[in-house]
A = this chain, B = another copy of it.
Amino acid sequence: MVKISPFAPKRLPALPPIDGVRIAACAAGIRYPGRADLMLALFDPGTTVAGVLTTSRTASAAVDWCRAHLAHGMARALVVNSGNANAFTGVRGRDAVQLTTKAAAEAAGCLEADVYIASTGVIGEPLDPGKFTGLLGGLARDAKADAYEVAARAIMTTDTFPKLATRSCKIDGVEVAINGIAKGAGMIAPDMATMLAFLFTDAAIEPKALHEVMAPLVEDSFNAVTIDGDTSTSDTLLLFATGASARRGAARIARGDDKRLDGFRAALFELMRDLAHQIVKDGEGLTKFVTVTVTGAETKQAARTIAKSIANSPLVKTAIAGEDPNWGRIIMAVGKAGEAADRDKLAIRFGDILVAKDGEVAPTYREAEGAAYMKRQEIDIAVDVGVGKAAATIWTCDLTKDYIAINADYRS
């Protein structure tokens, strides 16, 4: 029995239609019968796309395809399957991608080069595209403007809730919308954190500018979350901009540094961080959502490395699972990070509670106070390492027996 995350939203956000985007999903039986595992999104002609893909040296065949085609920056269709990652599947994997994109291009009435693709699930098992290529025509006919929730459900693997977010903003006075769906759960760590996230907007932005706006936002959103320090072979973030708002008078923006994109950038960043947090909040087996902020570091990169060292430490994460204010393990994680830190100036806070300063336990700190704080569902850990002015924040969850249960039995 899978337990639903304690952070699962009571009500899913309602995503408005995005002009120029239609979506459909169905159950293709890729791994389990009777569960939605295939989605198709269709985009109107003129839609631009920007993407950030996994840095894994063993990237999947679908990632290879996206990397090759993002250069031209135009999109007409997106096909995503769950249940099988089509990673480490050799020549058969490449063939599966070819067959899928060919079928999707026929269904969408577009060039194969305008089809984007992503697969998530088990690694190393051949993906049989015959299970779903015949379904794409029907999905194209059924595609609707309001199908974000079914799409978000179709890309889930061990996720316990679908991840949806929406924002709106103005570009040069014209209202545009941004919708996003994502999946996460396991193999979640920076570079990149999300396994899959797909964002949609009716903004009119040229491909290069779209990439320039989105790519820098990844560092403090999807790349600032970690569940288990593991990095998937399939991590894919794609942002599709249909440009339909141009019909309502919106400008078509060609440069990423165009001032008119400031509001869009802010809204997009909020949406990306929202989805990134949702991914952590559905971390396998989690009971706590943890924010780790490191200040006083030499550089931002050093602050991130130390924060990740804390956020990925099994001993820190199990202590949090046990509601144990075991700050000694935080000291350990700072120490092993390999970045400059002044042991004798180090300070630690749990929320507003000063736990340690100047390299030892704070005189005002009471263990009972720390223990009470650790019973919260959302935990803030702040560490000042006393050598500089740079800061970074990483979001993570605790490490529980249920994580082990889920991952020891995943394929069984």
Residues of A within 8 A of B (CB): 54-59, 85, 87-93, 122-126, 186-187, 189, 191, 228-233, 312-315, 318-319, 321-322, 324, 326-329, 331-341, 343-344, 346, 356, 358-361, 399-401, 403-405, 407-412
Cα(A346)–Cα(B344), bound, Å: 46
Known: A58-B335, A331-B123, A332-B231. A318 touches B88 (CB 8 A): no
A interface, by DSSP: helix, strand, loop or mixed? loop
The answer on a CB contact under 8 Å between A335 and B56 is: yes
The answer on a CB contact under 8 Å between B122 and A328 is: yes
The answer on a CB contact under 8 Å between B315 and A186 is: yes
Cα(A400)–Cα(B328), bound, Å: 23
The answer on a CB contact under 8 Å between A124 and B409 is: no
Pick the most buried of A91, A232, A328, A356: most chain B CB atoms within 10 A of its CB. Answer: A328
User: A88: nearest residue on chain B (CB-CB)?
Assistant: B331
Contact among B88, B122, B126 with A359 in the assembled complex (CB-CB below 8 Å): B88
The answer on a CB contact under 8 Å between A338 and B88 is: no
The answer on a CB contact under 8 Å between A123 and B329 is: yes
CB distance from A329 to the nearest CB of B (A): 7
> In the complex, given contacts A126-B360, A189-B336, A324-B410, what are 14 additional A-B residue pairs having Cβ atoms less than 8 angstroms apart?
A58-B343, A88-B359, A90-B344, A90-B359, A122-B326, A122-B328, A124-B327, A126-B361, A228-B315, A233-B331, A233-B335, A324-B409, A324-B412, A326-B411
On chain B, the residues within 8 Å of A356 by CB distance are 88, 124
Instruction: Across the A-B interface, give the 7 residue pairs with the lowest CB-CB distance, nearest first.
Output: A123-B328, A322-B408, A90-B360, A58-B335, A56-B335, A231-B336, A318-B407
CB distance from A228 to the nearest CB of B (A): 4
Known: A88-B328, A331-B88, A407-B315. A55 touches B338 (CB 8 A): yes
The answer on a CB contact under 8 Å between A230 and B318 is: no
Cα(A54)–Cα(B335), bound, Å: 10
What are 6 A-B pairs at a CB distance below 8 A? A56-B332, A58-B341, A89-B360, A124-B327, A124-B360, A229-B312
On chain B, the residues within 8 Å of A125 by CB distance are 328, 361
The answer on a CB contact under 8 Å between A322 and B230 is: no
CB distance from A43 to the nearest CB of B (A): 30
